[in-house]
Amino acid sequence: MLPLDYVHAIVLVGVALYMWTREPARILLTPLLLISSFILYGAGNIVYFAGAETIPEVHRAVTLCLIFMWIFMLAGIELARAWTARSSARFALVTRTWKSAPITDRRDSDRLLIAIGLLTAAYLIGVFLYLGKPGQILEFVSLQSASDKVKYRHDFGADGGYIYQTLLACVAPFLSFLYFIKGAVSKRPQVFAVGLLICAVVLAGKIGTFQKSPWVVYLLQLIVVWQVVRSLKFGLGRALMLAIVTVGGVVLAVAIALPQIDWPDLFEWLSYRFFEVNNEGIYQTLYVYPHYLPHTWGMNIGLVHSIFENGDMVPAYSRVASLFGAEGATFDAFFIGDAWVDFSYGGVIVISLLVGFLVKLIDVFTINLGKTPLTIALIGSGMYGLFQLLVNSAFTAFLSGGLVIIPLVVAASIALMNDLSRPAGRLGARPTPP
């Protein structure tokens, strides 16, 4: 342990007090981001460094990045709170009365939503069948070698292109949540049926990525959606239920992906996967950059790379995996890892501030819509973006993870619907003088 680790521990005490007083445990993005980060990269990081053999210089850089992350992420949350002072007042009112409030719903756009849902499901089914995913899934399950499964996942897991993968990752799940709640509230079986269809397609598509976590995360999202209908509180009972579902889903996924693993080894692997590998990924990333590879100065961001560079982009996690002899593996490094790869400490500070600001802003925007199916669907879909923040870059979570892009589309759609439903005056009529 280094002296800086004790400073990190003091910062974590301050974070715990902040959560207790400013962001109580609720099923919203901001408190769940703080709680999950605290467990995985706060207490988890201290436990990891207490037992790991590390290079002091890299150890110090990781700890300093985490301290910066906590300070500036909380600053971003408070900045969003101050910037939306009036909306934050309504946010407090809605969250306080959420459990007793009824779900309100507008039915004027149901036909359009049904059409959009059917088109989305048809596209996903068409691509799923065109790629031969049913046969691929059966072949993947029949493979007995873990290395063969890794290669199979690498070769076929990302098939379908960007649109298909984005629809599968965040857009279609959001629609399924929206249709489920709207159908249940309005007692319209056709809306609920479309939601059920999209749910089945999404679940099959996520299984067809051959990854261990996406379909488990989707099941957790479904549970979160139905829990939010009743209450926003995140107590011990709900935490245990989500933990049991998570562990059970991951055990099943690991048993399929690693058929030769023994049960004692499985539980040891799960302990390593949940509590050590995340912090190990950050350490390895900061070990490689900039000691063996230089900072990329934005070229690790897909959009920036596509504008300024030619050729295929090789993400930082692949380069780190290759350097450690794990070709084709994914070394998750939290959002501060990718920020460090691009811009060193400055990137960690700016991205942490941006993450805190945007996550709180999304919570305020979502809750200000009131207790509606749209609000509940936004909370459910945001959980996938939160998962992406914990294992991937911030920009991936914002765009491909839907964390920012879905609320933006919803805000634009609400503005458009309000404009279309506003009564228009007669053509050529003069305005009435005050």
What pTM did the predictor assign?
A: 0.89
Task: Look at the block and give the residue holding tokens 């458009």.
Answer: 416
CA distance 95 to 434: 39
Cα separation of 136 and 157, whole Å?
A: 10
Phi, psi of 26 (to 5 degrees): -145, 160
Q: What is the pLDDT of residue 417?
A: 66
Neighbouring residues of 53: CB distance < 8 A, sequence distance ≥ 6:
none
> Cα separation of 154 and 168, whole Å?
18
Place of tokens 């690693």: 258
Residue by residue, pLDDT tens for the chain (434 residues) are: 788 989 999 999 999 999 999 999 999 999 999 999 998 899 888 888 887 888 999 999 999 999 999 999 999 999 999 999 888 889 999 999 999 999 888 776 778 888 999 999 999 999 999 999 999 989 888 887 777 777 888 788 888 888 999 999 999 999 999 999 999 888 888 999 999 999 999 999 999 988 878 888 999 999 999 999 999 988 788 888 877 877 777 777 666 666 666 666 666 666 676 667 888 888 989 999 988 888 888 888 777 777 777 777 777 877 887 787 766 566 567 899 889 999 999 999 999 999 999 999 999 999 999 999 999 999 999 999 999 998 888 988 998 889 999 999 998 888 766 665 555 444 344 444 43
Say what the pLDDT of residue 391 is: 85
Non-local CB neighbours of 351 within 8 Å, separated by 6+ positions: 335, 336, 339, 394
- Cβ atoms 401, 170 nearer than 8 A: yes
Q: How many CB atoms lie within 10 A of CB 161?
A: 10
Q: Please compute, for residue 319, the number of CA atoms within 13 A of its CA located in the half-sphere on the CB side.
A: 19
Residue 258's pLDDT is 65
Amino acid at 211: Q
**Residue whose structure tokens are 């945007």:** 358
Q: Is 233 helix (H, G, I), strand (E, B) or coil?
A: strand
